[in-house]
Chain A
Amino acid sequence: MPTTTALLIDFGSTYTKLRAIDLDRRAVLASGQGPSTVATDINVGMRLALEDLGRWMGSLPRFKYRLGSSSAAGGLRIVTVGLVRELTAEAARRAALGAGAKLVGTFAYRLTAADLERIGALAPDLVLLAGGTDGGNSEVILHNARALGASALGCPIVYGGNRAAWDEAKVLLAGKAVICTENVMPEFNVLNIEPARAAIRDLFIRRIVHAKGIDRASGECDAVLMPTPAAVMEGARLLADGCASVPGLGELVVIDPGGATTDVHSIASGAATTAGAVERGLPEPRVKRTVEGDLGMRHNAATIAEVAGVDNVADDARLPAQTVERLIGELARDVGRLPSTPEEHALDRSLARAALRLAMKRHCGTVETVYSALGPINVQTGKDLSGIQVVIGTGGVIAHSAAPLDLLETVLANPAEPESLRPRAPRFLIDRQYLLYACGLLGQAEPQAALELALKYLGDPLAEVTHERAVGG
C-alpha cells in the first residue's frame, strides 16, 4: 500500500523551503529548497525546490496535502491604529503580532495628515483599526475612520474597535474593503485578540495571498494558509496543548533568531509565581508573540552590537573590539554571508547569544519591589515565565550550531537581574529540521500526525550529546 504523504511549503523571503512528510510513519522523508522568486513568478522557485526534493526522494509521490505558509513579498505588512498607546493601541499591536504580521507602523490617538501620509508610504497589506472600549470613546475611532476613508489607501481594513461606533464607521469607510470583528478591548483592560487574529488570517487567505501573487503557485500548492510566523506559532501551540488523543508538552517558549528579527513565542499563562505579587498593566495573552526588529543576525547585526555593547560582544567572542566592528561592517554590506573563518564563527556565536538573551528578556515580564508607606509590595508587569519547563530553539543559527546549548543558555534567568522573570531551569529542545512551521501547517489538517512528528523530531540536545559520547567512545 502506498504511504500517505504531505508536502509543507514555506514561501520565504530568500528561499522556498519544502518538507515531505510520511504521515503513516510520522517521518520526514526529505527536504528541498529553491530560491524565492515571488517578485517575478513564484512558480520558478517552487519548481526548483520540487526538483531538489525529487533528487532526495527519487520520485515525487502524490501528496495528500500540499499546504503552504508565506513570509515572501515583505511578509504580512500590517499597520495598527488605536486610541491610548498602552491600551487599545497595544491590544491591536498584540493582535497583529499574534496573526503573524510584520508590524510596519503603530499609531495611537487621532491620525494626523502626516500620519496618513506615512501610512500611505508604508503601503501596508492591511490596517487594523481599534479604539475605545465597547460603549466607550467613539469620537477618536470615527475621526480615524473618516481619515482612512478619505485617503487613497487601497488595502483592506479590519475594524476591531468600539462596537457602538461601527454603524457610523462603516459609512465613513464606504468604498474600502472593511471587515468588522470583535473589539480587541471590549471592556477596560480586557484583552480579546482572537477574533481580530482570525479576521486577519481570513483576509490573508482570501485576498492578500492573491494580491502578493503567491496564489499563482496553486498548481503545486493546495492552499497558503497563513504567514510563516503564524505557522510557527500554531506549531508551538500544538506542541504545548497537544490534541484530543496525545498530550502536549505543557507551557513552553519558542525562540527564533532570524536574519532580520528575533521572534519569541510563549504558550503560557504567565501568572505570577512571586508570593503576593500584584499584576499591573494590560493582561497578557496566553499565546504571545514578540518580534525584536533590532535583533537580526544579518540585517540588524550592527544594532545587536549597539544594544548589547560592542565591548560585551567582543569580550564574549574573545576578539578585539576593532575586529568586531570591522566584521559587523562587512556583514552589513553582505547580508547573505555565512561565517567561514574562526573569527566570523566566534562573532556569529556572540551575536546570537546577545540576540537570544535580549529577546527573551524583552518577552518576559519583570517583578519589582516597590516600597510603600505600608511596606514592600511586589509589582509584576508582563508574563512570569520563570517556571517554564520547555524552551525550544528554532531557526538556522540554532539548528546549524554545533553547540546549541551554548547559545540557548543565555536566555536563562540571571541572578544579577532578579527582576527579570526569565525561565530558570527549562529543558531545551532544538528544532534541527526546521519542522515547527510544517507542524503548524500540518496540524490544520492532521493534528495528531503533526504533533507526533514534532515530538519525535525535536531532539533533546542533552540526549544527543550522551548518544554521541556513547558512539564515540
Chain B
Amino acid sequence: MPDPAFTEPIGGERALAPAWINGVPHPLPDDPRVTLLDFLREQLGLTGTKVGCDHGQCGACTVIVNGRRVNACLTLAVTVAGDQVTTVEGLARPDGRLHAVQAAFLEHDAFQCGYCTPGQLCSAAALLDELALGEPSAVTPAVERVADIVLTDDEIRERMSGNLCRCGAYTNIVAAVRAAARAQNAHGRVR
C-alpha cells in the first residue's frame, strides 16, 4: 500500500502530500521547523488556534488530528502530511450549526477572556469521542474492570486537565462539558 504521506514520485523525488485542514488540502511548508501551530496561524490565517505556552503545557493550541486531540505547538507541520486536521474553525457544520460543545459553552458561559476557549472546545469535542470509545482516565475506578464510564465531574476535570484557563472559568467549563455529553448522548453515563 502506498504511504499516503507522499504524493507519487515526480522526477524521482517524492514530495510530501498536503494536509487536509478542515477538509481543505493545503501544501505543507518547506521549512521543517515550522510547527503545525505556526503553520495554521501564520501561513493559513487560521488564528482561532491560540499560542499559549508554546511548550505543550497549557493546551491553548489543541487541535484534532485524525480524530485525536494533540498539541499543535509540539507538532511539526511536515509530520501531518496526508492527515486530517480539525481546528476550532472546523468544529461547526458547514451550514453554521454549532458543535454540541460550542453550543454548551455559550449556554453555560464557559469562558471569560476567551483566549483558551478554542483549545478547550477542541479538547472537549475529542473528550466526547474518547468517552464513546470507553477510554478510561486516571480517575476511572477499577481500570481493570472494562465497563461503561460514568462521566462524573471528577472525570471531566481529569479529562480536561490538559487545558489551562488563567481566568479560572473551570466551574462553567465543567458544566458545559457535562451538558454537551448529555446533548450528544455520549455512550458513557453522565451523573
Task: Please determine whether chains A and B interact with each other in the same assembly.
Answer: no
